[in-house]
Every structure is written in structure tokens, then in C-alpha cells.
Structure 1
């Protein structure tokens, strides 16, 4: 493993002095094999970032371990699940299995965390891992995580689940990061377990209604679909917030068939794909992307839920084509201009610029791999030519 890390770093060092911002002419038709791109991206992700001794992900391609990097681990698990569902490879299944005890140990022997949003990412990923592999440990942890998250709801500022459980400003601070994942969990658990599961006196459909309505009333501009943290500050508009609100709306639509929720998802998708972008090349982008930063993972979360929206059978075809074009544009620019592909695949945090430093952070790699897996999935199901 160490040899792979050093070779990858050396290759980047050699390349970095020549790299500029590169823009791809999207009028050119690129003949990209998305399945092969996903294969090489996800296998490189495992080979370079997986800690084969401690069974969790390292923080970068040089083997750094950040003890408090809890929430990106959940998205790394999501990529493993994506790749396993696509390939059926035991390489991914074995790591999904090992992840459970490895990340649990890294987090102090349990999956409980001080931050409700961080537990939300794990709650979603663990349920997906259980459904993909049948590993009953993940069913148990997904249930425990959801119980801890639901316990965070309070009536301060009209309701909602706060950022963390402390009785401080942070403990009273509420937004989409903690409520979007919680709404998706409630919806998926309702679809899976029905009325049999009661948490803090409510069934999961009641939790979905409560959380979704709070988000829609407190963090969404109804006319435009804009999802915000602060109404007066567009620099608080993040791709992952738009993504999880879209995801919650879509799950609500699956359950109820009420077009109001599908239209909520569409409105936010239209707003995000026209606003949260690089104006030069129309690639998905958050304004604060930088070396080894939380924000670099946000785009991959948005991609996950836009992909689900594309696959919804009731989505108008005009919207579907536009969203497919948007994702394909971001992916082909990432693959042709934003990646170093030898000796392993490593990505830049701006999707139009290959890595400019020898270290590539975990968050950056996860986000890009999520996009590659998305294109492979959409290709396999006939949405991408």
C-alpha cells in the first residue's frame, strides 16, 4: 500500500507544475466509457485511501489518519455500496463488512457522534449497506443512529434538529445539514418498516412530515427553489443542502404520489444547476472549494440525489434531458481535465482542474468517485448515450 501511495504522490508532483485551469469544449463529443471510468476511479479509491490495517479510510493519498473525520467515512461507505451494487465484486463487499468495526472503533467504540448531521450521513449509508449486503449489523446501527437523531428535535425556533446536542448556540443552530438527511432517513424507514417502527412517539411518516415542513418553511424560497442557510447570504447556499432537500422531496413523492413534492425537487434542481456552478463551463461548484476542506465533498452529495431525480419515471422528459446533460458535462470535464489517471486515478477539488498538490484529500476523491459511479449507473440504465 505504501508503495502505491508514494508512486501516486510522485506522479502528481511531476504533473503539477504544468497544470492550469483547463476548460473543455462541451460541443466536442467525448467517447468516454463511463463504466471503465467508474471502475478505475472506485478501485483507485479503495487501493489508495483504504486503511487495510484499521479498516477505515485515510484522510489523503499519503495515508494520513484524522481521528475526527467521522462524516466523510459515511460517504466513503456510500461509494463502496455504489461500486458493489454495480459490479458485485467481493473487493467492495469485504470492505463494507470490515468498515463496520473499523469505523466504529475509530469513533470510540460506537457510531454515536456529537453532531446530528454527521450521524445522519451514517444513518443513510448504513441502511444502504444493509440493503445491499444483508449484513444485519448495519440494520442495527441504522436504527440506533435514527433514534439518536430523532431525539435531537426541539421546539426552539419553530422546531427542527440542531447541529449538535449541546445547549449552546451551536446546539440551537438548525439548518438543512441535520434536517435533510433526517427527512430522507424517516422516509426510507417508513417505506421499509411501515407503521411498526415508532420513534419518540411518532411513526416515520409523521417524522418525515414534521422535518420536511420545517425545512420548506424555514430554509427554502418557494418561488425559486433556492435552499439557503441564511436568506441574506448566498454564500451559505451549498450543493449538499440543495441535494438533501431534493432527496427528501423525492422520497415524500414516492410515498404520497403528491406532485407538490416532485415539483419541489424539480424547482430546487433547476435552481441549483443554474446557480451553483462555475459560470465559465457550467460545472457544479461550491464557491469555497479549497485544498482539504469539507466543502469539497458537497458536490458528490448533490450528484447522488440529482441522479435519483433523473431516474424518477414521472420526471418530465425535458427536465430529465437537461439534468443528464448537466451531469455528463460536469463528468466529462472532470474526467478529461480534472483528473490525473496514472499510476492511479486522483481528482482535483475543482472539477475542471487536475490536482495542483501532491496530496489529494479524502473528501475530494469521494465527491468525484460519486460522480463517476453516477454516470456509470445512468449509462447502464439507458439515460446516458
Structure 2
């Protein structure tokens, strides 16, 4: 039901007419035709990831064609390139294309090569290491480094992935809460000028995801220990008393909690030590978001804040954003994976 609602409302051909393409409309209901339409590259990556989740759950030829069309649509809409200024954007798309495999079509290998090469270029020793958030900037953050580490580990580049994950653990973990802070500002001499202390939900998820990948591939106990520590910190210092993760409004923030649910489900399925705690958070969120849904034309609408009832979509309402609806869909796919696994 979540998939049908998002696909019916948001998935369209580019400009409504370009054959062999799909792209995610960023809002529903649509704004007035005169309103500017921003390009949210990384939302499309998570739309692709959700469609792959659905294909793994219940394979369909129609959806398989739509996955390939969405990959083509992203490149076409992005002026024929897989890349932009933001290292986090391209890492997210790389993860989705990597998961898509042959469904991404002949362009998949070229996309992954371009993205992984650019991620290598983003690493410098300034700030002790790490990948920049975007080119020509002074900021290094968890949302760029976490997905990059996951992608590179899955690509067989474990040494580089481990260096990124170690930098995150050494630089971004808050010593008081054990949670991952947003990032650091790097001075021109390479020293850390300031730490951005904000605790965003998806920073925890990508740190966990990198640790889970490396615990399997690298085998060093530090990654298992870090994965256990971050799930414990999320349980006691981030989730509410029911185990529900907080939301971050609409816009980009709409994706944050859903991303973390994805990597919690991965952790539950791949690390027996985390199965109970990670499953509880995912299940609590899925129960809350489903019980709090709004039923409108075309199916459910999910809340931007899983712990409260959803508002009906409209101008200025976060539930209007594709990001928020993808997050709810992503959460339910994560819960379904855990249920299928028992």
C-alpha cells in the first residue's frame, strides 16, 4: 500500500512525456505550475532504493522496467552526468545503483565507476581525514562519509572504507551521548576549526551501516563494538519511550529517520548481537507510522513525525514532500524484511 501510494502520486516520466524515463515528483499535491521546481538529486536515489526494496520483496516485470527508467531519468535530469558538487548525493545514488545491479541497465557500471572515483578525490588529510560534504567547501560530515564508507566496503574497497569509518568514530562521536555529530569545519591549515554539534538521525544510521559492512568484511572487533554502541545510544538517547525515532520535518529532513531504519534492519539481520534492540526500534516506528497515517485519495499518507498523526498534504505541510513519504515507505519495507526473517 505504501509503494502504490508513492508510485501513483510521485513517479512520472520526465516532463511527463520523455519515453523510457521516470523521475520522482517532489511534492503531492503538485504546486501551482508557476512555482519553481527544485532538483532534489538525493531524494531520487532513495526513491530508487525503495523501489529495489519492493522488487526484492515481490518481483514484478513492470517495476523492474521502472527501476531502469528511473536510473536513466536521474542521469538525464542531471544534465547527462552522474555527478554533482555534493559527495553525499553521489554516494547515495551509488548505493542505490549498486543494489539495483542488472536492473540499472548498461549504465550501472559507468555510474559506479564515476561515483567511486569522485569519492576518492573527496578524501583529504585536512581535519584528520574524511571526505568533504561538497567540493570547494570547508565542511566534512557524517552524511557524506557514512554512505561513502558503505558503498566502498560493498565495492571491495575495505581498507579505504575502514579509514573513513575510523575517521568518523574518532572525530564525530559525541563523548557524552555516544551519538554521531553532524560534522567539522576545517581551517585552511588543515586543523579542525569547529565541530557542528547537531545530532541528526541519519548520521547514526550511516555510521551503523558502515560498521555493519566492515564488521563482516574487515573482521576487526572495533566495528562490532561501535555498531553495538551506536544502537545502544539510539535506544537510550535518541528514540522516545516507545522506541520511536524522532522526525526532522519535511524537505531533506524527511528522509533522515527512514534511512536509519534501513540500516537498523540490516544490523538486525546481519549481527545477532543487535537483532533484538535494532528490531525493536524498527518495529516501534513502523507501528507508529502506520497507526498515525492519514487516509486520502490514492492511499496512506505518512507523518513527518512518526510519533504523531499525519497531517493531510497541502501547501506548507511536510507530509506533502516526497522525502517524508519515502521515509515511511522505507520504514515499512525494513519492518517487512525483519518480519519475513522471523
| Length-normalised TM-score, structure 2 | 0.87
Residue 283 and residue 370 in structure 1: after superposition, are their counterparts in 2 closer, same or farther (change >3 A)? Answer: same
136, 145, 151: which is aligned to 1:179?
145
* 1:242 alignment counterpart: 204
Query: What are the superposed Cα offsets for residues 161-220 of structure 1, whole Å, 9 maximum, x if unpaired?
Result: 111111xxxx12101111111111110000xxxxxxxxxxxxx22211221221111112
CA distance in 1, matches of 2:296, 2:231: 31
Q: After superposition, where does 1:1-385 map in structure 2 within 5 Å?
A: 40-52=1-13, 53=16, 55-63=22-30, 66-130=37-101, 133=103, 135-166=105-136, 171-190=137-156, 204-221=157-174, 225-229=178-182, 236-279=198-241, 281-286=242-247, 289-290=248-249, 292-312=250-270, 314-316=271-273, 319-340=274-295, 343-359=298-314, 360-382=320-342
CA distance in 1, matches of 2:245, 2:301: 18
* 2:188 alignment counterpart: none
Residue 149 and residue 42 in structure 1: after superposition, are their counterparts in 2 closer, same or farther (change >3 A)? Answer: same
Residue 267 and residue 339 in structure 1: after superposition, are their counterparts in 2 closer, same or farther (change >3 A)? Answer: farther
Q: Residue 233 of structure 1: CA displacement?
A: 8.3
- Which has the bigger relative contact order, CA under 8 A and spacing at least 6? 1
For structure 1, list consecutive stretches of 5 or more residues without a partner in the other structure.
1-39, 191-203
CA distance in 2, matches of 1:343, 1:182: 36
User: Do the aligned partners of 2:245 and 2:257 also contact (CA within 8 Å) in 1?
Assistant: yes
CA distance in 1, matches of 2:295, 2:287: 14
Q: Residue 375 of structure 1: CA displacement?
A: 1.3
User: Do the aligned partners of 1:340 and 1:355 also contact (CA within 8 Å) in 2?
Assistant: no
CA distance in 2, matches of 1:74, 1:51: 15
User: Do the aligned partners of 2:215 and 2:224 also contact (CA within 8 Å) in 1?
Assistant: yes
For structure 2, list consecutive stretches of 5 or more residues without a partner in the other structure.
185-193, 315-319
266-275 vs 225-234, greater mean Cα deviation? 225-234
* 2:191 alignment counterpart: none
User: Do the aligned partners of 2:243 and 2:280 also contact (CA within 8 Å) in 1?
Assistant: no
| Length-normalised TM-score, structure 1 | 0.77
Q: Residue 264 of structure 1: CA displacement?
A: 0.7
Residue 105 and residue 334 in structure 1: after superposition, are their counterparts in 2 closer, same or farther (change >3 A)? Answer: same
CA distance in 1, matches of 2:7, 2:298: 14
Q: Residue 126 of structure 1: CA displacement?
A: 0.9
Q: Residue 369 of structure 1: CA displacement?
A: 0.3
**RMSD after superposition:** 2.2
SS of match in other structure, 1:228: coil
CA distance in 1, matches of 2:40, 2:152: 25
CA distance in 1, matches of 2:113, 2:255: 25
Q: Residue 322 of structure 1: CA displacement?
A: 2.8
CA distance in 2, matches of 1:282, 1:338: 18
